[in-house]
Amino acid sequence: MSMILYHTPASPFGRKVVVMLHETDLIEQVELEIVQQTPLNPNRDVIDANPSGKIPALRLEDGTTLHDSRVILDYLDTLHQHTPMIPHHGPERWRRMTLASLADAMTESAVQIRYETFMRPQGLQWKLWLDNQHEKIARSLDYFEQTALPELEGHFDMACIGLACLLGYLDLRVANWHWRGEYPKLAAWYTEADQRPSMQATRPEAR
Amino acid sequence: MSMILYHTPASPFGRKVVVMLHETDLIEQVELEIVQQTPLNPNRDVIDANPSGKIPALRLEDGTTLHDSRVILDYLDTLHQHTPMIPHHGPERWRRMTLASLADAMTESAVQIRYETFMRPQGLQWKLWLDNQHEKIARSLDYFEQTALPELEGHFDMACIGLACLLGYLDLRVANWHWRGEYPKLAAWYTEADQRPSMQATRPEAR
């Protein structure tokens, strides 16, 4: 029995894991099980594996289950022979983890925007909340555009995967935001990143 | 210049970091800077250090800043001589990280409940969302009560710190939920955990 990854292709956190599986040639070792769920309708298999109901969750061969995406990525990073996705020590380790965390924070905000606009009944939507999630993402994208972009060259690691999956999610779920015009250098970086086989193989389809 | 931790005492994610500083005798090496903010009013110092505006954030002596709480905890865990807060490798590492992640997921749900009931205008509150956040926490607490509790004995590590801070936060911000009656074994565990000097020194006050 191989490992099983519970995920949904449209989830940016699940996509990070699948992109990493492709980048590290581990993809054949993991069975991808797609689960359909929302925060309002968690899936029974997922709850059995992770009582919080969140995905992605990775069931190991011994039956134990790991979550969330960061824990899964930390584990998978010990299974391959390529350059580590997160440096093992030194200042570089925490810098890359911080950049990956910044990408995750943007992704959480983007997911909040999606919940607010798509799931929550229209009469209960709160513009101030939406604006603030949007600002949080904008400030962070600006930080990558103005400051951190040179750090994204070289190895396509956890920080790069997180950022690429966030930008893909914006295109998918916050599609009315034409972020490329505001962050042209980031847009150029993403155009190239998005061509990677790992990104192409995991492109989510809107529905 | 020593390290500076930007945090707010009422935040359960910031509290995790301060509890760890106490548990590992690192507390004297870090200056605690309390910032007042909400997601709607991020603090300028925080934004400079972390564009997402989220706290806790840890400014190192060299001027770089680490975030979020998990990254900070991973870094701090290399600075002390006590038993590691997260095992360095082996199945135990990912098990403890998964339990800590489960505590974090509950904490995120509890923060969502707080935002929904305290920050969002009353007419825009959505009961179904609240109920689902509540259920997510309840399922996870039940998992600790029924299954994972024995794993909380012994070293008071990251998983224990995360869970203790979550339970303290429920008492502070979701105080109408009398969880102790539903999870008596967990309540007994928390009564003892809450007596630790690290927990006593970081007890948030409602306001």
Nearest CB among B40, B66, B132 relative to A132 is that of: B40
Angle of helix A127-143 relative to helix A91-114, nearest 10 degrees, comes to 150
Nearest CB among A52, A62, A91 relative to B105 is that of: A52
Domain boundary at A52, A76, A100, which? A76
What CATH number is attached to the domain comprising A130? 1.20.1050.10
Cβ of residue A53 closer than 8 Å to a chain B Cβ: yes
pLDDT at residue B38, rounded to an integer: 74
Residue with tokens 């935040």: B11
Same domain flag for B103 and B190: yes
Torsion sign over Cα A134, A136, A142, A144: negative
Beta carbons of A120 and B97 less than 8 Å apart = no
**Which tokens hold the place of B206?**
């409602």
Same domain flag for A70 and A100: no
The answer on pLDDT for B181 being more than 80 is yes
Same domain flag for A106 and A57: no
Question: Cβ contacts of residue B127 below 8 Å, gap of 6+?
Answer: none
Same domain flag for A59 and A99: no
The tens digit of pLDDT for each residue in B40-59 reads: 777 887 888 889 888 999 99
Residue A16's closest CA among A69, A67, A53, A65?
A69
The tens digit of pLDDT for each residue in A15-52 reads: 999 999 999 999 999 999 999 877 777 788 788 888 98
Same domain flag for A44 and A137: no
Mean pLDDT value of segment B64-92: 96
pLDDT at residue A38, rounded to an integer: 74
Residue A21: inside a domain, yes or no? yes
Residue B62: inside a domain, yes or no? yes
Task: Say what percent of chain A tops pLDDT 70.
Answer: 98
Give the C-alpha separation, B69 to B152, whole Å: 21
**pLDDT band per the 50, 70, 90 thresholds, residue B1:** low
Residues of A with CB below 8 A from B70's CB? Answer: 70, 101
Closest Cα in chain A to B121: A126
Residue A205: inside a domain, yes or no? no
The tens digit of pLDDT for each residue in B124-175 reads: 999 999 999 999 999 999 999 999 999 999 999 999 999 999 999 999 999 9
Beta carbons of B52 and A106 less than 8 Å apart = yes
Domain range holding A71?
Answer: 3-76
Residue A189: inside a domain, yes or no? yes
Same domain flag for B60 and B104: no
The answer on pLDDT for B178 being more than 90 is yes
C-alpha atoms less than 13 angstroms from C-alpha of A62 in its C-beta half-sphere? 4
Residue B60: inside a domain, yes or no? yes
Rounded to 5 degrees, φ, ψ at A78 are -95, -5
Domain boundary at A76, A101, A128, which? A76
Cβ of residue B114 closer than 8 Å to a chain A Cβ: no
Domain boundary at B45, B76, B107, which? B76
pLDDT at residue B58, rounded to an integer: 96
The number of distinct structural domains making up chain A is: 2
pLDDT at residue B207, rounded to an integer: 61
Mean pLDDT value of segment A89-112: 97
Same domain flag for B127 and B53: no
pLDDT at residue A88, rounded to an integer: 94
The answer on pLDDT for B29 being more than 80 is yes
How would you classify residue B113: left for phi > 0, otherwise alpha for psi between -120 and 50, otherwise beta? alpha
Q: What sections of chain A are H helices per DSSP?
A: 12-23, 44-49, 69-76, 91-114, 127-143, 158-173, 179-182, 184-193, 197-200
Nearest CB among A52, A98, A132 relative to B140 is that of: A52
End-to-end CA distance of chain A: 32
Give the C-alpha separation, A190 to B87, whole Å: 36
pLDDT at residue A207, rounded to an integer: 61
β-pair type (A30-34, A65-66): unpaired
Give the C-alpha separation, B129 to B125, whole Å: 9
What CATH number is attached to the domain comprising B12? 3.40.30.10
Residue A181: inside a domain, yes or no? yes
Residue with tokens 């916050």: A174
ipTM score over 0.90, yes or no: yes
DSSP code string of B164-201: HHHHHHHHHHSTT--HHHH-HHHHHHHHHHTTSHHHHT
Beta carbons of B120 and A97 less than 8 Å apart = no
Beta carbons of B67 and A106 less than 8 Å apart = no
Residue A169's closest CA among A118, A197, A203?
A203
Closest Cα in chain B to A106: B52
Same domain flag for A103 and A169: yes
pLDDT at residue B36, rounded to an integer: 82
pLDDT at residue A169, rounded to an integer: 97
Give the C-alpha separation, B51 to B53, whole Å: 5
Q: What sections of B115-147 are H helices per DSSP?
A: 127-143
Cβ of residue A196 closer than 8 Å to a chain B Cβ: no
Residue A85: inside a domain, yes or no? no
B51: closest CA of chain A, how far (Å): 5
Residue B83: inside a domain, yes or no? no
Nearest CB among B51, B89, B143 relative to A143 is that of: B51
Same domain flag for A46 and A112: no
